[in-house]
Structure 1
Amino acid sequence: MLAATLLVPGLTACKSDDPAPAGAGSAASAVPADPKEALIASTKELEKGNFTFTLAGDGLSGKGLVHKPSNSAQFSMKFDDGSGSSMGMELIFIQPDSWVKLDLGELGAMIPGAEKMKGKYQHLDQSKVKDAGELSRYMEQADPAGSAMLTKGITDVEKTAEGSYAGKLDASAATDSSAVDADMVKALGAQAKALPFTAKVDAEGRLTELVISVPSAGETKAHDIKVTYADYGNATAAQKPAADKVVEASPETYEMFKK
């Protein structure tokens, strides 16, 4: 599986014509005393769309940036299920264009035309992306991991140290988050309503780390989902791929992301 639910950063934040000044009005001059309210407030700075992030889960690792001032974003990821084979993907968005580069590993040999796309950035037709299920859905989110949605699902939390929190959250209503797979939530059943988590915020109250502990269930093994954020107000613009590395996306690429 290409794990499309953990592939693509949210890009709507890049589409505004009125970007906030870098570093202006950072999240919290006064961090709320209530732990849950503090964590909900910690995600507000993400709405400004100027940060870098990392994302890691069961066999998955990724990193990227969102840069609203230039209407751009970039994300790369790698998936390794431990069998010795791996897959990777990079997506670049510079309004109004986007490109995707896929490394499908052994799976590529089974997809028509995949070999000639190897090492190339496929330029995406925006009209087709809108019909591409998972791909279009994640391009409509401002936050790559859906941390704001996850923090709203907190059911129990306490402050464990300055800038550090721990508790439990209900992930069952957060399956639109790139960090939470709907199949995983289904496998967890009732356990998904009380997943242990830890979180950290910086001196200005902005979220810097969220770690969710997922228990084993069905084919899902116990693992942590970890999201980190940095460079608030200081991210750099995504770079357009070199022309000699660009081809138009194949029908198989669009099909791959459909539900």
Structure 2
Amino acid sequence: MKLGIAAVAAVLCLGGCTWLEPPIEESDIAGAALGPGEELLRSVPGEGAPAYRFTIGGGGACARADGVFDGAAEAFRMTISMDGPQPGSSVTMGLVLLGEDAWIRIGLEPAEVARQLGLPDGWVAFDPERVESFRIGGTGGGSDPAGAGDLLENAVGVTRAGNRKYSGTLDLTKAEDPMMLTTEQITALGDAARSVPFTASVDAEGRLTTLTTQVPGGTCRIAFADYGKAVTPAAPATKDRSDEGEEKIYEILNS
């Protein structure tokens, strides 16, 4: 089980719903001289972005995740849901990073499978540097835990597709760590991974709100919301923490 997974949030107006939005103004586009691809890449939350909420998911094609990132407070929280190691089982993994402090909680259903694996019950403090594949935005100065920027850096043929909307294709084979899909999923796509259609939308201030891709097996989306309004993540309550199980956490995450 690796930490490099993520997925997408449901968006009510998949088809566009441009009639719900006011006419676009020139000021809506950050830097009118920029091409659409540069505009879109600049819309991804950067280091100066206020606290925001993100969700990742899709109709079975991706894992499911949601979280909050606050760069100024060096605070990050994410919850990931995925299929478990056995048929019919499911895993929910929570992660909290506050500066140099980190906690993780792994829940597994059914409960008897969790007991068989010896999973700790509660939030466990751990050292991210002891996890081989640990790469989450928010550590090392990152500000894009959902991985949207990593995807859009490899966008091709980006065009404006309506009121604050864009479209184009993504070359997933060039993405350094595409959180939407695992490396195994991208490999399984074959040549199709080099030209994956996407659509995106931004808000009136030019900030990314949705990034949607179509892959064999379904739709994957990343959605951003509550810029400047999201509640800064806090440390897990003491009563919900476990003093045991740290070594088991490293064993699972490095497997």
Q: TM-score, normalised by structure 1?
A: 0.78
Q: 2:225 aligns with which of 227, 230, 254?
A: 230
Q: Answer yes or no: is 1:6 the counterpart of 2:5.
A: yes
Q: Provide the C-alpha distance between the structure 1 equivalents of 2:199 and 2:157, rounded to a whole number of angstroms.
A: 11
Q: Provide the C-alpha distance between the structure 2 equivalents of 1:32 and 1:53, rounded to a whole number of angstroms.
A: 29
In the TM superposition, what are the counterparts of 1:124-139 in structure 2 within 5 Å?
A: 124=126, 126=127, 129-134=128-133, 136-138=134-136, 139=139
In the TM superposition, what are the counterparts of 1:1-259 in structure 2 within 5 Å?
A: 2=1, 4-6=3-5, 29-31=30-32, 34-43=35-44, 45-49=45-49, 50-57=51-58, 58=61, 60-80=63-83, 84-106=88-110, 107-111=113-117, 113-114=118-119, 117-118=120-121, 120-124=122-126, 126=127, 129-134=128-133, 136-138=134-136, 139-140=139-140, 141-215=142-216, 222-248=217-243, 249-258=245-254
Provide the secondary structure at the position in 2 that maps to 1:48: coil
Q: Provide the C-alpha distance between the structure 2 equivalents of 1:83 and 1:59, rounded to a whole number of angstroms.
A: 17
Could you say which residue in structure 2 is the equivalent of 1:219?
none
* AA matched with 1:62: A
* Structure with the bigger percentage of helix: 1
Identical columns (%): 27
- Whether the 8 Å contact between 1:28 and 1:42 is mirrored in structure 2 is no
Structure 1: unaligned runs, 5 residues or longer: 9-26, 216-221
- Whether the 8 Å contact between 2:3 and 2:135 is mirrored in structure 1 is no
Could you say which residue in structure 2 is the equivalent of 1:18?
none
- Whether the 8 Å contact between 2:6 and 2:146 is mirrored in structure 1 is no
Provide the secondary structure at the position in 2 that maps to 1:197: strand
Structure 2: unaligned runs, 5 residues or longer: 8-27
* AA matched with 1:145: A
- Number of residue equivalences: 225
Output the aligned Cα RMSD. Answer: 2.5
* AA matched with 2:115: A
Compared CA separation, residues 177 and 32, structure 1 to 2 (3 A): farther
* AA matched with 1:155: V
How far the C-alpha of 1:32 sits from its partner, in A, is: 5.1
Provide the secondary structure at the position in 1 that maps to 2:235: coil
Q: Provide the C-alpha distance between the structure 1 equivalents of 2:32 and 2:152, rounded to a whole number of angstroms.
A: 15
How far the C-alpha of 1:33 sits from its partner, in A, is: 5.2
How far the C-alpha of 1:245 sits from its partner, in A, is: 1.5
Q: TM-score, normalised by structure 2?
A: 0.79
